[in-house]
Amino acid sequence: MKLRTLALGGALVVAATSTHAAELARKPFGKLPSGEAVEAFTLTNGKGVSATVITYGATLQALVAPGRDGKSADIALGFADAETYAKTASYFGATVGRVANRIGKGRFTLDGKTYQLALNNNGVAALHGGAKGFDKVVWKVLDTKSGPVASVTLGYVSPDGDEGYPGTLTTTATYALDEQNQLTVTYGATTDKPTIVNISNHALFNMAGEGAAEGAMGNVLTIPADGYSPVDAELIPTGETTPVAGTAFDFRKPTMVGTRIRDGRDPQMVIGRGYDHNYALNGKSGGAIRLAARLSDPKSGRVLEILSAEPGLQFYAGNFIDGTWTGKSGKIYRQGDGIALEPQHFPDTPNKPQFAPVRLDPGQTYRNVMVFRLSVEK
């Protein structure tokens, strides 16, 4: 397949000559307060779906999808420029690691040695890799491709001792968009010393469109999980897996996110101010990808299916978004305006031997593949 290079609005576009080939556009995305430049890569297919990835945090900055009326909307919360990302702690769309989610007391033991991490979550836990995790660094561009599948691969080398973690971790993040409206995100990592790794993507979605006046509580959610992880007052899993049957956490059948989110009779809902819990996904983990979640907007017909081989899915309903951030379309983001569905290992796994381990040794390759599959309900 032959490629041609076009100039489009100052951006470099590499496009295949076939009418059924995804395109890739590359352009500046501004600078951080430090002066470091950030780039944006937009992957676009022939069916009206596009994804924009920025090098700051290897972040999914936008995901545009058409509805049943043909009108497109950006369904991913985010900001319009690099400086705003740097000044917030939103994690919107970011690659989070080395270890996504929470580690209780910011402490874990590996091979008899105890490691202390930054307590960047209310002073009681380590969250999403630390004070300067993968979401707060500029990743290096390793590769770009166009053709039947358009992709961008970014890389970051986290040095030994970075944020308190042992080992030099060499990490890659690849975003690839195909003509079947699937955005595949692949994380990989290798280490030179035993360490722990649990990388995920912290995109927050609203299938009605980011900044929609009605918020995201009318989105309809399905999670194929018979159990979830209850948490303590610090939002750290207790180590148990509780059946979802008969509780506000049961999303095995399609249910509007907002239907039971204010059920104060359930102490778990009170602790999390709504949903901020790990789900133990049904089916075997570590093998072929399977459905982890389905999110849809009844009005527009937009549907997002997330497929993963990970054992868990963190479901967070934007409970702590407080109206202090203005999104890329100029709309204030409020509580319940976005829904995170993060395929990953369970939170606090290093301190819970009953959970599937997140240890990575030299010679091994960490891998987390998640597929965001878009479609339209008629």
Alpha carbon separation from 284 to 230, 290, 309 (Å, rounded): 21, 9, 8
Say how far apart CA 306 and CA 261 lie, in whole Å: 22
HSE on the CB side for 69, CA within 13 Å? 8
**b/e per residue 142-170 (b: at least 16 CB within 10 A):** eebbbbebbbbbbbbebeeebbbbbbbbe
Q: Which two tokens stand for residue 63?
A: 């995901």
CA separation for the pair 200, 85 (Å, rounded): 18
With contact defined as beta carbons under 8 Å apart, do 193 and 178 qualify?
Answer: no
The answer to whether 205 touches 75, Cβ cutoff 8 Å, is yes
The span from the CA of 317 to the CA of 158, in Å, is 30
> Is 23 in the active site?
no
Is the previous residue joined to 107 through a cis bond, with omega within 30 degrees of 0?
no
Q: Which of 39, 163, 202, 310 is catalytic?
A: 202
Is 20 marked active-site? no
Cα separations (Å) of 354 from 111, 238, 259, 346? 17, 11, 32, 10
Q: How far apart are CA 351 and CA 232, in angstroms?
A: 14
What span, in angstroms and rounded, lies between the C-alpha atoms of 152 and 150? Answer: 7
Report angle CA 137, 14, 60 to the nearest 5 degrees. 30
Cα gap 242→265, rounded to integer Å: 16
Catalytic residue among 163, 210, 310, 342: 342
Instruction: Give the residue among 247, 216, 218, 233 at the shortest CA–CA distance from 339.
Output: 216
Determine the Cα–Cα distance for residues 122 and 125; give it in Å rounded to an integer.
Answer: 7
Q: What is the identity of the amino acid at 316? A: Y
Enumerate the active-site residues. 202, 342
